[in-house]
Amino acid sequence: MAVLDYLIPGYKGYRQRDDSRQSDKLFRDYLAKELGAEATRLEQAKVELAGSGNLAALNPADQATKLLTKVRDRLRFANYGFQSGMFGSKGETEMVLKVEEYDKGLVDDKDSVRTQVQEIENVLMEEGNVAPEFKKLTRILREFDEKLNQREAIIRGNA
């Protein structure tokens, strides 16, 4: 491949762009898989919740579960192309750096989701009021979803 970088004008940039698109896809797949594991834990928590008779917390639990599924699916199925017309430009480099910065935050957000799901499990084991914990998870997921909107805007060149 390195030989083609020198022989064909523009090939190196094309390859680098393709590599960055592939890296973006792999990163999003990783996050989606991690959130999928949290969704499984959350579903198990809902089963325990229903079994305990705490029906008042089922609505917040369902809201959190639906939002987690939405965020996970957005990561999994998002368009991973970059804005056209920026190929090899300074703007493309800046955009890629912005996306990478957002990606660091998304990893933190994924960790926040994991921590909150763990807190939900802990409160369930203590037989405490778990509804506020599900609401907190919903807030975390809404922020995550908004960050995905901002990331998408950067990729499209709107930010």
**Using CA atoms, how far apart are residues 69 and 11, in angstroms rounded to an integer?**
39
pLDDT in tens, 49-102: 888 877 888 999 999 999 999 999 999 887 655 555 444 556 666 777 777 777
Percent above pLDDT 90 for the chain: 45
**Is the pTM value of this prediction over 0.85?**
no
Return the higher-pLDDT residue of 93 and 32.
32
pLDDT of residue 7: 47
Indicate if the pLDDT at residue 144 is higher than 90.
yes
Worst-scoring range by mean pLDDT, 30-44, 65-79, 108-122?
65-79
CA atoms within 13 A on the CB side of 124: 26
**What average pLDDT does range 125-135 have in this prediction?**
92
pLDDT of residue 131: 93
**Using CA atoms, how far apart are residues 31 and 147, in angstroms rounded to an integer?**
14
What are the structural domain ranges in the chain? Answer: 25-156
**Using CA atoms, how far apart are residues 22 and 100, in angstroms rounded to an integer?**
14
**Using CA atoms, how far apart are residues 138 and 13, in angstroms rounded to an integer?**
41
Name the DSSP letter for residue 55: G
Worst-scoring range by mean pLDDT, 24-33, 128-137, 140-149?
24-33
Handedness of CA 67, 76, 38, 147 (dihedral sign): negative
pLDDT of residue 112: 96
